[in-house]
C-alpha cells in the first residue's frame, strides 16, 4: 500500500469542494441532462486542458460552454469555423494607421478564457494549425511579437460527425492536443420537455457567477498537488503501453487498431484523474479515478482502420478491452 503524501490542507479541500459544488449546481440549473458533458468541461477547466465535443447540431454544446464560463465569470469567445476563415481572424493581425503612419496590433478572439471553435473541421488546415499551435504553446505571434494568452485558456472545439463533405478532418497529431473528447447523445423525451419549459421561463438570461477566475486558478493549483502514487502511475503507463501492444493484450480486436495511444495519453490520464479525485473530495488518486475518464481520454487517441468502421467496432470497445486486460493495482 502506497503511503499518501500531500501538502493540501483540510481548509483548502473544503474551499475546493465549495467551489466545485457551486459550479456543478449552476450548470445543473441551466442545463437539462448532459451530466457527462458537464463533468468533462469541469475536468478540462481544472486541468487547464482543451476538449473536443462531437455530436449532431442542436445538442447544447455552445450553451454548455457558455454556462461553465458564466459560472466562473470568465471571458467567452465564439468562433464559427468556415473554409474561408484565416489564421489572422482567430489570432489577430496588424493594421496600418494612416493618421500616424504606424502599425497597430489588433488581437483576435483567441484571447479569452474559454474559446469555442464551432465546427473546427470546417476550417482549413492552415487555420487549424494556427489555432492548435496557440493551444499547445499558449502564446501567439503577431507581427513578430509574441503575446501570452490568458492563464485560464481552454479551447472547446466542436465537430459534426455526420456531414464530412467540404470539411478538413483533424489529423492524429492535432487530435492528440485535446485533453478529452466527449461524444454527446440526444436527450430523453422527458428531458426535451424540461428544455422547452426552461426556455419558456427564459432561465438562460439570469447570469449569476458562483465563482471567479481566481477560484479556477486555485482549483488548478490544488489539482497539481493531488497525490498520485507510484503504483497508479505504473497503472496508467501499463494502460497506454497496452494500447500499442495490441496483439498481446486483445488479440481478437487487434486487427482493427491502426495506432495506439501516445505519451500524451498518459499525461492526460494523470491530469484528468487528479481532477476527478478532487471532485470526489479526495487528495489522492484511486484506480477508479483513472477508469472514470477512460473513454474521454483515449477515444481520440486510438486510431482505428477501415475494417473497424466496416464492422462497426467503436473505440470504446477497444478501450474497455484494454482496461479489462491490465491488472488494477
Is 15 within a domain? no
Each as own residue / partner, the long-range contacts of residues 318-321 (CB below 8 Å, 24 or more positions apart, any chain) are: 318/243, 318/250, 318/253, 318/256, 318/257, 319/294, 319/295, 320/294, 321/249, 321/250, 321/253
Question: For 199-228, how does the pLDDT look when each residue is reduced to its tens digit (9 = 90+)?
Answer: 888 777 778 899 999 999 999 999 999 999
Is 261 within a domain? yes
CA distances from 328 to 224, 231, 323 (A): 23, 9, 8
CA separation for the pair 67, 41 (Å, rounded): 10
Is 251 within a domain? yes
Residue that wins the pLDDT comparison between 314 and 58: 314
Domain of 286 in residue numbering reads as 227-329
What are the cell numbers at 128? 487549424
CA proximity to 81, closest of 120, 116, 107, 26 = 120
Instruction: Find cell 492524429 and name the residue.
Output: 172
Is 177 within a domain? no
Give the angle subtended at the CA of 132 by the CAs of 184 and 322, to the nearest 5°.
50
Domain count, the chain: 1
Is 279 within a domain? yes
The whole-chain average pLDDT of the chain stands at 89
Is 129 within a domain? no
Is 94 within a domain? no
What is the reported pLDDT for 1?
44
User: Is 55:104 a contact under the CB 8 Å cutoff?
Assistant: no
What are the cell numbers at 64? 454548455
Return the CATH number at 328.
1.10.8.80
Sign of CA dihedral 190, 196, 201, 205: positive
Partnered with residue 128 across adjacent β-strands are: none
Is 313 within a domain? yes
CA separation for the pair 282, 276 (Å, rounded): 9
This prediction's pTM: 0.90
What is the reported pLDDT for 236?
97
For 181: left if phi > 0, alpha if psi spans -120 to 50, otherwise beta; the answer is beta
Amino acid at each position: 500500500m502506497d503511503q499518501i503524501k500531500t501538502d493540501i490542507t483540510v481548509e483548502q479541500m473544503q474551499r475546493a469542494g465549495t467551489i466545485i459544488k457551486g459550479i456543478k449546481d449552476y450548470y445543473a440549473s441551466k442545463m437539462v441532462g448532459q451530466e457527462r458533458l458537464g463533468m468533462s468541461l469541469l475536468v478540462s477547466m481544472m486541468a487547464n486542458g482543451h476538449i473536443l465535443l462531437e455530436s449532431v447540431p442542436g445538442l447544447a454544446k455552445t450553451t454548455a460552454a457558455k454556462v461553465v464560463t458564466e459560472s466562473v465569470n470568465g471571458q467567452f469567445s465564439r468562433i464559427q469555423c468556415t473554409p474561408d476563415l484565416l489564421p489572422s481572424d482567430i489570432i489577430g493581425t496588424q493594421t496600418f494607421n494612416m493618421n500616424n503612419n504606424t502599425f497597430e496590433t489588433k488581437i483576435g478572439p483567441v484571447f479569452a478564457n474559454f474559446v469555442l471553435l464551432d465546427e473546427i473541421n470546417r476550417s482549413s488546415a492552415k487555420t487549424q494549425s494556427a489555432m492548435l499551435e496557440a493551444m499547445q504553446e499558449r502564446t501567439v505571434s503577431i507581427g513578430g511579437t509574441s503575446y501570452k494568452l490568458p492563464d485560464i485558456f481552454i479551447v472547446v472545439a466542436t465537430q459534426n460527425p455526420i456531414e464530412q463533405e467540404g470539411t478538413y478532418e483533424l489529423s492524429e497529431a492535432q487530435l492528440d492536443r485535446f485533453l478529452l473528447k466527449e461524444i454527446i447523445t440526444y436527450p430523453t423525451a422527458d428531458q426535451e420537455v424540461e428544455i422547452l419549459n426552461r426556455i419558456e421561463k427564459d432561465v438562460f438570461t439570469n447570469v449569476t457567477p458562483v465563482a471567479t477566475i481566481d477560484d479556477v486558478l486555485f482549483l488548478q493549483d490544488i489539482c497539481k498537488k493531488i497525490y498520485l502514487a507510484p503504483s497508479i502511475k505504473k497503472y496508467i503507463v501499463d494502460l497506454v503501453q497496452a494500447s500499442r501492444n495490441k496483439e498481446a493484450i486483445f488479440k481478437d480486436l487487434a486487427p482493427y487498431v491502426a495506432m495506439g495511444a501516445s505519451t500524451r495519453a498518459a499525461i492526460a490520464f494523470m491530469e484528468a484523474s487528479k481532477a476527478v479525485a478532487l471532485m470526489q473530495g479526495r487528495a489522492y488518486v484511486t484506480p477508479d479515478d483513472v477508469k472514470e475518464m477512460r473513454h474521454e481520454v483515449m477515444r481520440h487517441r486510438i486510431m482505428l482502420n477501415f475494417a473497424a468502421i466496416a464492422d462497426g467496432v467503436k473505440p470504446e470497445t477497444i478501450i474497455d478491452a484494454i482496461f479489462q486486460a491490465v491488472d488494477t493495482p
